[in-house]
Structure 1
Amino acid sequence: MDITQLPSWQQLETLAQHMRRRHLRDLFAADPERGRRFSLELPEFLFDYSKNLVDDEVLVKLLQLARDADLGTWRRDMFAGAPINRTEGRPVLHAALRGGLPDSVELHGGAVQSQVESELGRLKEFVNLLHNGGVTGCTGKAITDVVNLGVGGSHLGPQMVIEALRAHRRGDIRVHFVSNVDGAQLADVLEQLDTETTMFVVSSKTFTTTETLTNARSALRWFGDMMSQEQILHSHFVAVTANPEKAREFGITPQRVFQFWDWVGGRYSLWSAIGLPIAIAIGFNGFRALLDGAAGMDRHFREAPLEENAPVLMALLSLWYCTFMGYPAHAVLPYEQALHMLPAYLQQADMESNGKSTTRAGEEATYATGPLIWGMLGINGQHAFYQYLHQSPEVVPADFIGSVTPGHDLPGHHEILLANMLAQSQALMNGVSVGQVASELAAKGLSEDEVAALAPYKVHRGNKPSNTILLRELNPGSLGALIALYEHKIFVQGVILQIYSFDQWGVELGKGLAAALQPQLESGDAHDQDTSTSQLIDFYQRVRSGTPVHGAAG
């Protein structure tokens, strides 16, 4: 089936042309109940999608497209453990990691949920021992610092969650992160630490990731001759991997190797043993609450009708803008300091999943498959790129995210913060007309000529759409629900746009090229490279060897 040939798709293309001539101000004026009708109140948050450039007809057609794309079957198959990641021949079962699957789902002869709970039990025991002083370094001193060595999903998810749950940290063990193979990051972290009281968590799905293993070897050398290498690996190193044999070959004791499975994508892995740093930072009970919050969103996604299903509606709105309206970017704007890493996390989750150009039929996609995701903390953004959002000719749909309950007890701050969030979404929606600007300037005493000269620069055309997600409180449960909301949104978009969301061949391409180039950087022999790469390697060699480098002629 070619999705673009469906009547619902073609009707949406026609509706998009019509909606480009509508204004959000008019949609609100025509429907006094719009805010209520275009909102969902869930246990953890209010999802207000009323400030979107859609009407009932558009929503009906978007929901029809989802049905025509057989979303219900794909959703059922994912939760049933079918191999929907067909390019890799794997199921997609990250929902199992938080208890979101029926007990009847089996893989390789064993119940998936039983495997997950068994590994969670091991994780819980280790974390509790660590906090109780039962895990020590070589010299018998209790561990005070844990350094996570990982990259991509083995790094970004856990760090984002720990930052988001800063108010829930236990505080007795500090958690640090190193992802960059640039040795400066590792050196900066090690500078703060004591070899006797530091433990490293080496997180790698394959346990072959060059960046992670390079950092792990450097961390091992940092211990010097304090003890034998075997003793250091036994007492100061833990592994989290889907390839336990490789971790054991590295020298990490089997009791300290925690497993997840090949049916867990890296960017969906924070719910697995990859979340060990989270469990250390906020305690295992906090980690369990995070999983439970995500499991609640899993149930909502599985059971709610499409028209009342938050991930489905978010996906349809994103698809509407990117694929039909021609708006190629989407901004994530948290008004919550603790969520400062969420935009970066969602960049990976969304763009690594749906940044594809080949359909499930193996053909070139003739439509946009996903937006460019970007953003930062809302208050900081207001003094940076919001000028672009408000007055650029481009339209960038946005998600505003905040919480009712502050994560601190400083009076007055939170009301100012939320007032800014609400004001920005309102300003993007309404804008300011030339008539309003002229009246304001005239009231300040400007002459007609002065008003005419200045007014065009102060006009904001508005009609910039947004969602608002207002959490009751930012805690482990609500954060789990929020992350799972976006995970399922991404899945729905991929299903409707007929792409495979759970592989990442573009990531693998760069890794392979880097492995081939590394020895050439060391040897300087780049005769088989293109002239640009060859020139760059030659420059690198000359600078490193101290050979004079001449400036360009001119």
Structure 2
Amino acid sequence: MTPANTTPEWQALEAHAASMRGRHLRDLFANDPQRAVSFSRTSGLNLLLDFSRQRVDAETMRLLLALANARDLRGRIDAMFSGEKINTTENRAVLHTALRNRTERPVLVDGQDVMPEVRASLQKMRTFVEGIHGGRIHGHTGKTFTDIVNIGIGGSDLGIVMATEALAKYRNRNLRLHCVSNIDGVQLGDVLEKVDAARTLFVVCSKTFSTLETLTNAKLARQWIVDRLGEGAPARHFAAVSTNAKAMDAFLIPPQNRFTMWDWVGGRYSVWSAVGLSVALALGMDQFELMLEGGHEMDEHFRTTPFENNLPVLMGLLGVWNRNFLGLDSLAVLPYDQRLHRFPAYLQQLEMESNGKSVTLAGTPLQYDSGAVLWGEPGSNAQHSFFQLLHQGTARVALDFLAPVNASSPFQQQQNLALANCFAQAQAFAFGQTEAQVRQDLAAKGTGESEIARLIPHKLHPGNRPSTVILFPRLGPKTLGRLISLYEHKVFTQSVIWGINAFDQWGVELGKKLAESLAPALEKPGEAAAGAEPSLRNLLEHVARWRG
């Protein structure tokens, strides 16, 4: 595929952007009374995508859709769903969509239908979860489990934390879930202080069972169980999600406590698989499968809906427009529901690990920018911290607002206030505050003319900050599944436009490799410092000096 910026469609967008950069959202709305309706879409899935506050017009959207067609987005979507090996650097299919396929449609990889394995894995998860909840599966001493400790990192942690926080109201009240990811031992130490060994189940999530952080924490947890319950106890107190049977043998994890993964599922797309076992344990298998259903519904929407009404496609194209044609290199995700407080962190990995690339599928350097920096916080907190920079600072950031209409708490009146804040901020970012408005407000308060003149520069809000509002009736398992799938397909759409591989992550591997080689040096930093190369010597000397 030729570089995107050499196509006539890209060049038409560049010419169009030159005229759009000078246009303000105030004028776009003033010139089109129906703009809010014209630039909104619903999916039939109880999601409203309102992108009327994006700095686009009808011609922008026409040109973006033309670019999507020129980049063969439809063909790439079909290739992904059909099991083609679109992860070219690892020669793998990309089939997280198969994990939530609720139809009888086969999904082929190398000519073999993977759906029987997927269904068998889900059934094994259900048997295990219901066994834990019913007390049939219990600990070494015969006591039932009260605590689940998930040990994983990256895709084996972020999705689990995000989903169980988002769906906390659905949790099984007889089980507490704890998640351990960091290698520094703090999380593990804190958890082990709270739990009873006889009533604790550890779930180790690691595709290879060799990830340094996960393996280190798992070994410490295993020894903790052995010290308290005996050598044979880990067989009843550990489950694992991995492809490494030999490593699970060494850990004494019995077959009935092992859950499979496949090489056609990337870590950041794996919460739909047995990696979501801890989600299912926390919520119940019925709720977990409702989340799968929501994801599948968005898959079908993405796979079959014309691009002009296709929510993930439109979000992806708007992201390309903001990144490549308006020069916005950052996206803030702002949920107005505390239950979604870990959703931005989940999306950080999804977007930045997927599209943080600087070469094309062919390995040639990109001639244009790719993925934006994604970050965010729940909206109410964000308003009182970093919104100042977004409103009046020099940074240029696009924004996604997410909000349920109905409260996730018992207090609908408070959610009404959250929605009022969400809508108000979207308006303020779009329209700002003009000199005339500042002058009028101050004069109404009786402020003198000289003071008005002094304050005007400080109270001006430029506005014209682009945002999208994603509104839905309420947050539940199906809605969460739809939201995750929505952003997954948005990321894929952008990768197709840019001509990059969204499904490898070689940038993660170098740091891992170096850390493994440096680990022995930290055991004896004084000795290691003498032979270390200059950039490390000073650090190792200070470690040796300060180690108490």
The TM-score range, normalised by the shorter chain, is over 0.9
Query: What is the correspondence of 1:143-542 to structure 2 with a 5 Å cutoff?
Result: 143-229=145-231, 231-524=232-525, 525-526=528-529, 529-542=532-545
Answer with 105-114 or 338-347: which moved more.
105-114
CA contact (8 A) 2:139 2:200 kept: yes
CA contact (8 A) 2:198 2:229 kept: no
Answer with 478-487 or 319-328: which moved more.
319-328
Task: Tell whether 2:78 aligns with 1:76.
Answer: yes
Deviations 1:465-488 (A, max 9, x none): 100011111000000000000000
Matches of 1:324 and 1:60 in 2, distance apart?
Answer: 15
Q: Which amino acid aligns with 1:8?
A: E
CA contact (8 A) 2:197 2:229 kept: no
4+ residue runs over 3 A deviation: 100-104, 224-228, 526-530
TM-score, normalising length: structure 1: 0.96
CA contact (8 A) 1:243 1:259 kept: no
Q: Which amino acid aligns with 2:30?
A: A
Q: Which amino acid aligns with 1:299?
A: E
Matches of 1:4 and 1:45 in 2, distance apart?
Answer: 33
Matches of 2:103 and 2:505 in 1, distance apart?
Answer: 25
CA contact (8 A) 2:77 2:303 kept: yes
Q: Which amino acid aligns with 2:198?
A: E
- Indicate the SS of the match to 1:208: coil
- Indicate the SS of the match to 2:367: coil
Answer with 69-78 or 37-46: which moved more.
37-46
CA contact (8 A) 1:323 1:370 kept: no
Matches of 2:418 and 2:492 in 1, distance apart?
Answer: 32
Shift of 1:411: 4.8
Q: What is the aligned partner in structure 2 of residue 551 from structure 1?
A: none
Deviations 1:225-270 (A, max 9, x none): 44432x2221100001133332223221111110010110000000
CA contact (8 A) 1:244 1:259 kept: no
Q: Which amino acid aligns with 1:204?
A: S
Shift of 1:104: 3.2
Matches of 1:79 and 1:102 in 2, distance apart?
Answer: 14
Q: Which amino acid aligns with 1:60?
A: R
Shift of 1:528: 5.5
Matches of 2:530 and 2:88 in 1, distance apart?
Answer: 39
CA contact (8 A) 1:198 1:236 kept: yes
Matches of 1:509 and 1:393 in 2, distance apart?
Answer: 34
Matches of 1:405 and 1:540 in 2, distance apart?
Answer: 52
Answer with 352-361 or 108-117: which moved more.
108-117
CA contact (8 A) 2:93 2:109 kept: no
- Indicate the SS of the match to 1:260: coil
Matches of 2:333 and 2:204 in 1, distance apart?
Answer: 30
Q: What is the aligned partner in structure 1 of residue 114 from structure 2?
A: 112
Matches of 1:109 and 1:298 in 2, distance apart?
Answer: 22
Deviations 1:436-456 (A, max 9, x none): 101111121122111111111
- Tell me the matched-pair count: 544
Q: What is the aligned partner in structure 2 of residue 56 from structure 1?
A: 58
CA contact (8 A) 1:333 1:399 kept: yes
Deviations 1:281-335 (A, max 9, x none): 1100000000000000000000000110000000000110111111100000000
Q: What is the aligned partner in structure 1 of residue 20 from structure 2?
A: 19
Q: What is the aligned partner in structure 2 of residue 132 from structure 1?
A: 134
- Indicate the SS of the match to 2:365: coil
Matches of 1:90 and 1:237 in 2, distance apart?
Answer: 30
Task: Tell whether 2:32 aligns with 1:31.
Answer: yes
Matches of 1:115 and 1:224 in 2, distance apart?
Answer: 34
Query: What is the correspondence of 1:92-107 to structure 2 with a 5 Å cutoff?
Result: 92-99=94-101, 103-107=105-109
- Indicate the SS of the match to 1:469: strand
CA contact (8 A) 1:103 1:111 kept: no
CA contact (8 A) 2:98 2:107 kept: no
Matches of 2:111 and 2:307 in 1, distance apart?
Answer: 34
CA contact (8 A) 1:433 1:460 kept: yes
Q: Which amino acid aligns with 1:17?
A: A
1:44 is matched with which residue: 18, 43, 46?
46
CA contact (8 A) 2:126 2:285 kept: yes
- Indicate the SS of the match to 2:354: helix
Deviations 1:65-122 (A, max 9, x none): 1111111111000000000000000000000000167733323563111110011000
Q: Which amino acid aligns with 1:200?
A: F
Matches of 1:249 and 1:159 in 2, distance apart?
Answer: 28
2:546 is matched with which residue: 538, 543, 547?
543
Q: Which amino acid aligns with 2:157?
A: H
Matches of 1:375 and 1:67 in 2, distance apart?
Answer: 31
Shift of 1:4: 1.1
Answer with 98-107 or 8-17: which moved more.
98-107
- Indicate the SS of the match to 2:74: helix
Answer with 404-413 or 387-396: which moved more.
404-413
CA contact (8 A) 1:157 1:270 kept: yes
Structure 1 residue runs without a partner (length 5+): 547-554
CA contact (8 A) 1:332 1:373 kept: yes
- Indicate the SS of the match to 1:432: coil
Decide whether aligned partners of structure 1 residues 120 and 473 sit closer, same or farther in structure 2, where only a CA change above 3 A counts.
same
Deviations 1:177-211 (A, max 9, x none): 00011111111011110011000000001110111
Q: Which amino acid aligns with 2:192?
A: L
> How many percent of aligned residue pairs carry the same amino acid?
48
Structure 2 residue runs without a partner (length 5+): none
Matches of 2:111 and 2:11 in 1, distance apart?
Answer: 45
Shift of 1:171: 1.2
Matches of 2:322 and 2:78 in 1, distance apart?
Answer: 27
Q: Which amino acid aligns with 1:485?
A: L
Decide whether aligned partners of structure 1 residues 101 and 248 sit closer, same or farther in structure 2, where only a CA change above 3 A counts.
farther
Decide whether aligned partners of structure 1 residues 275 and 169 sit closer, same or farther in structure 2, where only a CA change above 3 A counts.
same
